[in-house]
Chain A
Amino acid sequence: SQTIHQWPATLVQPVGSPLSLECTVEGTSNPNLYWYRQAAGRGLQLLFYSVGIGQISSEVPQNLSASRPQDRQFILSTKKLLLSDSGFYLCAIQPRPSTDTQYFGPGTRLTVL
């Protein structure tokens, strides 16, 4: 079965600083990958998804960007953090597209001060 790693687990950053969150996957190949944000412990907002290396789709206009430099690596980043970027960021995978469901990583808690 697959394993999803997210790094770091928690992060406190000042407004205007850069950000890089990493998601790596083990135990599967060519998955669909997703970034979600969760504010105040409620509601999951889909930010980005990727169906392959270098292929990124954005669901909502925002300050963040995503990249998939390798099959099992998904990165969320920005050059300048905003206060509104605070939240709980979740990476999810769909191991076998069109035949399987989504599984979530442990998450990264981001606080922007």
Chain B
Amino acid sequence: GQQLNQSPQSMFIQEGEDVSMNCTSSSIFNTWLWYKQEPGEGPVLLIALYKAGELTSNGRLTAQFGITRKDSFLNISASIPSDVGIYFCAGQNYGGSQGNLIFGKGTKLSVKP
């Protein structure tokens, strides 16, 4: 089945630094999604990407849908302590009625003030 490789597994950075994480797949997706999960809460959608090559920003967050449709990256600029959490990528194909997501294993981000 489809699998996503998300890296890095964890990051420990200083406040103010930029962050970059990515996901790759052996197969193509129609949509790439990025979620953030804070401790004890459900994941929250950050950015959704629908077209190959698409570059989308949401405040200090920027994500891109790879041209090959097999990868995506998420950048966070000028990190702050509230950026702490686990970031998940997810790929989705809209074939059929399931709409099932394939998730990466997450990148755990720690920010030192």
User: What are 23 A-B pairs at a CB distance below 8 A?
Assistant: A32-B97, A41-B86, A42-B86, A43-B103, A44-B43, A44-B103, A51-B97, A51-B98, A57-B98, A90-B42, A92-B42, A97-B97, A98-B97, A98-B99, A101-B92, A102-B90, A102-B99, A103-B45, A104-B35, A104-B44, A106-B41, A106-B42, A107-B42
Number of chain A residues close to chain B: CB under 8 A: 26
CB of A43 within 8 A of CB of B94, answer no
In whole angstroms, what is the CA distance A9 to B97 when docked? 29
Q: A41-B86, A42-B108, A101-B45 are in contact. Are A32 and B98 (CB under 8 A)?
A: yes
Cross-interface CB contact of A98 among B35, B90, B94, cutoff 8 Å: B94
The contact size tier of chain B is 20 to 34
Interface flags for B30-45 (1: CB within 8 Å of A; 0: not) read: 0101010001111111
B88 at the interface (CB under 8 A from A): yes
The answer to whether the Cβ of B101 comes within 8 Å of any Cβ in the partner chain is: yes
**A90, B42: Cα distance in complex, Å:** 7
B103 in contact with A109 (CB, 8 Å):
no
Any chain B CB within 8 A of the CB of A94? yes
- Give residues 1-47 of B contacting A (CB, 8 Å): 31, 33, 35, 39-45
Flag whether B105 is at the interface (Cβ < 8 A): yes
